[in-house]
Amino acid sequence: MKIAEFAREVKLETIKILWPTRKESLMTCVMVLFITAISGVFFLLVDSAIYKIIQFILGI
């Protein structure tokens, strides 16, 4: 396969891609940040609870 033919096929395939709109990208970004924050708080609470349980068991 020649380089020019490969480049032409890449260009044709790139045209077929359905790119997300700016609004879709923004909403996806906001959802990821929100879920990350919620997960962080959840794991903080679980970690704190486990820490307290271990402290209680060891009598520290």
Query: Is residue 10 within 8 Å of 18, Cβ to Cβ?
Result: no
Q: What is the DSSP letter of 19?
A: P
Domain extents for the chain? Answer: 20-60
Taking phi over 0 as left and psi of -120 to 50 as alpha, with beta for the rest, 59 belongs to: left
What is the model's pLDDT at position 56?
Answer: 95
What is the model's pLDDT at position 60?
Answer: 75
What is the model's pLDDT at position 58?
Answer: 92
The confidence band for 1, taking pLDDT boundaries of 50, 70 and 90, is low
pTM of the model: 0.65
pLDDT digits (tens, 9 = 90+) for 8-58: 999 999 999 999 999 999 999 999 999 999 999 999 999 999 999 999 999
Query: Is residue 54 within 8 Å of 47, Cβ to Cβ?
Result: no
Distance CA 60, CA 56 (A): 7
